[in-house]
């Protein structure tokens, strides 16, 4: 560091303007050894804690300390060597050793002989850094709280999911038991309406059991995949059919619907398919039943079609209530249903509104 008893100064008008500035300003003598401070305004002295005589003649590195970024210092030195302006932020130290963040813009001032002075406009950015640190700490604490809350909610959701799966598992088991008991009773009942009724009810309960089996196995217990149900249902139904005589085919999109609709949809598809197998192919007639479902803008369109004898050829069954059951389920789901002869066979068209599933 060099000392100058009579440092050179820029024009008085420039010094006077800097003196009135509320921002810390310092002027260094570029032609003196080590580029010492030639002048500083009151704002600079107030920020640094030094008196004017303590800084004049000394290089501004006097403000640097152990935590000052050496890379930033090298940038300043390189800019001064080529007489280019530079803006940089440094951790400086006041006279009492207190650190503060100093944002400065260093600009060369030239005359006819070259660079004569450098002036540095500065700003104490300590408050900004403290605010950033506070915000960082606050953000970190919020992140920890959110993570802890998320973990707690995830644990609660896992428990709820496990409970719902267990409920579906137990319901499925109970339905299977009931279905088996009804089938056993049907076998011991003489042929007739009573036996047919028991057989039909056991099959309906079996369809409900299949729906709950899928709900139990799905990772998302809140939704029901209609495509998966159709595949399971198709396998169960075709297992009891002679494929050379009758078969069931399915073309069902993997439509996700609310789990609450699992039971009514299972019952609906089973009833329409079973009725077609039971009534559309009399006298060992060969035939095919198809199930199709696709997503629409407002919900789902379901088609059950057979190539049997058609509606007009089927005698009314006063004891049966399959069609009434189907129409009741459709109404429950706020849907619409249409029955028609397909020539040959019968086609049932059903539209069911669905809430969007994310």
Supply the angle between the helices 322-332 and 262-279 in degrees, to the nearest 10: 150
HSE of 41 in the Cβ direction (CA atoms, 13 Å)? Answer: 19
Structure-model confidence comparison of residues 8 and 38, the more confident one? 38
Q: What pLDDT shows up at residue 60? A: 92
Rounded percentage of the chain residues whose pLDDT exceeds 90:
32
Q: What pLDDT shows up at residue 100? A: 94
Query: 10 Å Cβ neighbour count for 76?
Result: 18
Question: Is the model's pLDDT at 53 over the cut of 70?
Answer: yes
Of the candidates 179, 260, 190, the one whose C-alpha atom is nearest the C-alpha of residue 224 is 260
What average pLDDT does the structure give for the chain? Answer: 82
Q: What distance in Å separates the CA atoms of residue 301 and residue 292, rounded to the nearest whole number?
A: 8
* Segment among 107-121, 135-149, 298-312 with least mean pLDDT: 135-149
Q: Reduced to 3 states, what is the DSSP secondary structure of residue 30?
A: coil
DSSP letters for 79-140: HHHTT--EEEEEEEE-TTS-EEEEEEEEEEEEETTEEEEEEEEEEE-HHHHHHHHHHHHHHH
Q: What pLDDT shows up at residue 220? A: 58
Burial 8-27 (b: 16+ CB within 10 A, else e): eebeeeebeebeeeeebbbb
Q: CATH top-level class for 12-124?
A: alpha beta
> Once rounded to an integer, what is the mean pLDDT over residues 38-46?
92
> Once rounded to an integer, what is the mean pLDDT over residues 122-128?
88
Phi (first) and psi of residue 50, to 5 degrees: -90, 155
What single DSSP character describes residue 235? Answer: H
Residue 80: band (very low, low, confident or very high) from pLDDT cuts 50, 70, 90: very high
For the CA atoms of the chain, what is the radius of gyration? 43
Structure-model confidence comparison of residues 192 and 4, the more confident one? 192
Token pair for residue 118? 């450098």
Burial 142-161 (b: 16+ CB within 10 A, else e): eeeeeeeeeeeeeeeeeeee
Q: What pLDDT shows up at residue 160? A: 67
Does the pTM of the predicted model rise above 0.85?
no
DSSP letters for 264-290: HHHHHHHHHHHHHHHHSS-TT--EEEE
Most confidently modeled of 100-104, 164-168, 248-252, 253-257? 100-104
Q: Reduced to 3 states, what is the DSSP secondary structure of residue 36?
A: coil
Domain locations in the chain? Answer: 12-124, 128-220, 222-358
Token pair for residue 219? 């990772």
Q: What distance in Å separates the CA atoms of residue 175 and residue 169, rounded to the nearest whole number?
A: 10
**222-358, what's its fold?**
Heat Shock Protein 90 (3.30.565)
């Amino acid at each position: 560091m060099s000392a100058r008893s009579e440092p050179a100064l820029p024009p008085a008008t420039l010094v006077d303007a800097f003196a009135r500035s509320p921002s810390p300003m310092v002027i260094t003598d570029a032609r003196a050894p080590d580029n010492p401070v030639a002048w500083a305004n009151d704002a600079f002295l107030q920020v640094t804690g030094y008196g004017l005589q303590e800084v004049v003649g000394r290089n501004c590195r006097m403000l640097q300390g152990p935590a000052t970024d050496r890379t930033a210092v090298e940038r300043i030195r390189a800019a001064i060597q080529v007489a280019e302006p530079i803006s940089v932020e440094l951790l400086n130290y006041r006279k009492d050793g207190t650190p503060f963040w100093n944002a400065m813009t260093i600009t060369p001032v030239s005359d006819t002989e070259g660079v004569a002075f450098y002036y540095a406009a500065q700003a104490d950015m300590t408050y900004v850094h403290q605010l950033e640190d506070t915000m960082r700490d606050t953000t970190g604490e919020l992140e920890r709280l959110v993570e802890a809350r998320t973990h707690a909610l995830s644990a609660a959701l896992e428990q709820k999911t496990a409970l719902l799966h267990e409920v579906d598992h137990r319901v499925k088991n109970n339905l299977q038991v009931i279905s088996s008991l009804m089938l056993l009773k049907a076998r011991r009942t003489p042929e007739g309406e009573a036996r047919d009724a028991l057989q039909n009810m056991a099959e309906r309960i079996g369809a409900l059991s299949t729906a709950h089996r899928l709900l139990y196995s799905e990772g998302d217990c809140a939704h029901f995949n209609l495509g998966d149900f159709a595949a399971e249902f198709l396998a169960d139904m075709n297992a009891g059919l002679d494929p050379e005589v009758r078969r069931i085919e399915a073309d069902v999109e993997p439509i996700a619907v609310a789990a609450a609709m699992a039971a009514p949809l299972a019952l609906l598809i089973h009833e329409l398919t079973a009725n077609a197998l039971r009534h559309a192919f009399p006298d060992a007639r060969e035939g095919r039943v198809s199930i199709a479902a696709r997503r629409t803008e407002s919900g789902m369109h379901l088609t059950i079609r057979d190539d049997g004898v058609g509606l007009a050829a089927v005698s009314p069954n006063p004891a049966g209530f399959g069609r009434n059951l189907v129409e009741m389920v459709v109404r429950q789901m706020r849907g619409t249903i249409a029955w028609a002869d397909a020539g040959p066979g019968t086609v049932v068209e059903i539209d069911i509104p669905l809430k969007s599933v994310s």
